[in-house]
Amino acid sequence: MLQGDTVEFGDIRLQVIHIVGHTPGSVAFLYDDPDGTPHLWTGDSLFPGGVGNTFGDADAFVSLINDVESKIFGILPDETWFYPGHGNDSQLGVERPHLADWRERGW
């Protein structure tokens, strides 16, 4: 799947967001609900409290945090709910104030 591809089933249409860092082929799926808030399934790329594990690879971390900042936080509103591959869900507005802290700590 590539950035901007769509997956459709029934009346549901999900936009593919390609996010490099946790793994080279990681994607998130965005459902931009026409009657409500956006919903984003992030897999292991974004969690409450930070981005996913890059296994100590500094370049992979920079790639991941850059993609998360530009392709998710850079385009989606604070009310967007996101659902990681495991653990708790959250809203982008809850996590947005911590982006600089995540980048500084390097994980």
Res 51: pLDDT: 96
What does the pLDDT look like over 41-61, one tens digit per residue? 999 999 999 999 999 999 999
Res 41: pLDDT: 97
- Residue 101 tokens read as 């802290």
Residue 13's identity, in one-letter code, is R
Q: For the chain, give the percent of residues with pLDDT over 70.
A: 100
Domains of the chain with bracketed CATH:
6-105 (3.60.15.10)
What does the pLDDT look like over 13-48, one tens digit per residue? 999 999 987 787 899 999 999 999 999 999 999 999
pTM summary value: 0.92
Dist. CA 75–CA 58, nearest whole Å: 25
Residue 103's identity, in one-letter code, is R
